[in-house]
Amino acid sequence: MLLGEGRILGIDIGSSSIKLVELEQNGNAYQLRSVGEAPLPPDSIVNKAIAKSEVVSHTLSTLIDDLGIETDDAAISISGDPVLMKRVSLPYMSDSELKKSITWELEQSLYQGIKEVNYDYQVIPGQGTQDNIDVLIVAANKNATKNYISIVTDVGLNPVIVDLDVFSLESMYEVNYPESEGLVALVNIGASVTNINIIDNGESVFARDLTVGGNHYTHLIMAEMDLTYEEAEEVKHTQRVGLTDPGLKQFAHNFINSTCSEIKETIDFFSSTYCTEKVKRIMIGGGSSSIPGMKDALSDRTQAYVGILNPFRKIVYSEGAFDPEYIEDISPKMNVAIGLALRKP
């Protein structure tokens, strides 16, 4: 038997770094096999389009070598500008009529021809009225998707699954929070995108990517303190200057405020348009959820309970092989990669 047969690598190609996770399933339990992260130079992925494919492939290839990965099958995901997500309410109709309506809905919303996207849709269970069905439509630009796939094939892997970041969050949540009920907003605040997936009893009822993320804050630090990207990232991570420098404090405050406003606006839009119930529970993750004050600010703003997602909550790992401090440190950034590693080929 080939090493790693039946397993799948979760590879999250983010704007700021590539994250990789490999899990082994034993019954209903999952064991961590490999985990790692490799930073990407700031101009490698721009507006979620791969701008420097050789740099991204090389970074992935080095990460795979460093981790000693032997598994070939990979799940990747895309988000942000190349993706459109839309929820629509349509009158009851036959499957073939529904397909035509979806095409029409997409033609109204896309900035590009329908031939330039791959699309899919899902009827939202238990929603809509007697006369209506509610549908979640997703579309992804073919060219952008192909470029992500090429990164994985360039390093000799088989891309067996191409998902969206928002849905991989859901896969991660399902396994790690099996007791969760009712309406929950999963919010992943990254470097250039914030993924939002509102689930109701485990089913996605609304999904959206906001083009807000920590890069904005990094660029403010770079400009204000005359630092390189790497130096500004270092300042963010250690918050060395953040606590004393009044300018930086203000930047952090502004970034937290604007991010929380956009998240609240999206959740309020969902509640007012599709649901009479308020979202009382928000679970956050992504590298930028670690900014001190983010969680409390979002809770104040939305009047909801805000918790931090732990993608390793139900994942078993050997403390001899993986340093618990390291796992805790990278945990906020691993939500998407774990969700991908949980997917079945």
Ligand X SMILES: Nc1ncnc2c1ncn2[C@@H]1O[C@H](COP(=O)(O)OP(=O)(O)OP(=O)(O)O)[C@@H](O)[C@H]1O
CA–CA separation, 329 and 208 (whole Å):
27
**Which run of H or of E encompasses 175?**
helix 165-176
CB 89 within 8 A of CB 134: yes
Name the one residue in this structure whose structure tokens are 């209506």.
132
Q: Which range in 53-61, 102-110, 114-122, 283-291 contacts ligand X by CB under 6 A?
A: 283-291
- Cβ–Cβ < 8 Å for 122, 201: no
Q: What gap in Å lies between CA 2 and CA 6, rounded to an integer?
A: 9
Q: Which is nearer to ligand X, 159 or 287 (CB)?
A: 287
Find which of Mg ion, ligand X, none residue 17 binds, CB within 5 to 8 Å per kind: ligand X
- Tokens 């991204």: give the residue: 56
Of the candidates 62, 77, 82, 58, the one whose C-alpha atom is nearest the C-alpha of residue 8 is 77
Residue 50 touching ligand X (CB under 6 A): no
218 touches ligand X by CB under 6 A = yes
**Torsions phi, psi of 197, nearest 5?**
-130, 115
Say if CB 327 and CB 35 are below 8 A apart. Answer: yes
- Tell me how far the alpha carbon of residue 274 is from its chain's centroid: 23
Query: Using CB under 5 A as the criterion, what x/- string covers residues 171-200 for binding Mg ion?
Result: -------------------x----------
Per CB under 5 A, contacts with Mg ion among 3-32 are: 14
Helix (H) or strand (E) holding 313, with range, is none
> Closest approach of Cβ 72 to ligand X, in Å?
23
36 binds, among Mg ion, ligand X, none (CB under 5 to 8 A by kind): none
Interface size with ligand X, residues (CB under 6 A): 21
By CB under 6 A, residue 16 contacts ligand X: yes
Q: Which two tokens stand for residue 296?
A: 């409390």
CA pseudo-torsion sign 169, 256, 46, 108: positive
Q: Which residue lies nearer to ligand X by CB, 7 or 333?
A: 333
Q: Hey, how many other C-beta atoms are within 10 angstroms of the C-beta on 288? A: 28
Instruction: Between 159 and 190, name the residue whose CB sits nearer to ligand X.
Output: 190
Question: Quick one: 71 or 288, whose CB is closer to ligand X?
Answer: 288
223 neighbors 237 (Cβ within 8 angstroms) = no
Instruction: Decide whether 73 or 209 has the Cβ nearer to ligand X.
Output: 209
Residue 192 interacting partner from Mg ion, ligand X, none (CB closer than 5 to 8 Å by kind): ligand X
290 binds ligand X, rule: CB under 6 A: yes
159/190 with CB nearer Mg ion: 190
Site for ligand X in 168-197 (CB under 6 A): 190-193
Sequence-ordered list of residues with C-beta below 8 angstroms from that of 282, at least 6 positions apart, any chain: 184, 185, 187, 263, 267, 298, 299, 302, 304, 305, 306, 307
Nearest CB to Mg ion, comparing residues 14 and 159 = 14
Q: Please give the Cα distance from 76 to 57 (Å, whole number).
A: 13
Is 133 an interacting residue with respect to ligand X (CB under 6 A)? no
105 binds, among Mg ion, ligand X, none (CB under 5 to 8 A by kind): none
**Range in contact with ligand X (rule: CB under 6 A) among 156-164, 229-237, 273-281, 302-310:** 229-237
214 near ligand X, judged by CB under 6 A: yes
Q: Does 14 bind ligand X (CB under 6 A)?
A: yes
Binding site for ligand X (CB under 6 A): 14-17, 190-193, 213-215, 218, 233, 236-237, 286-288, 290-291, 333
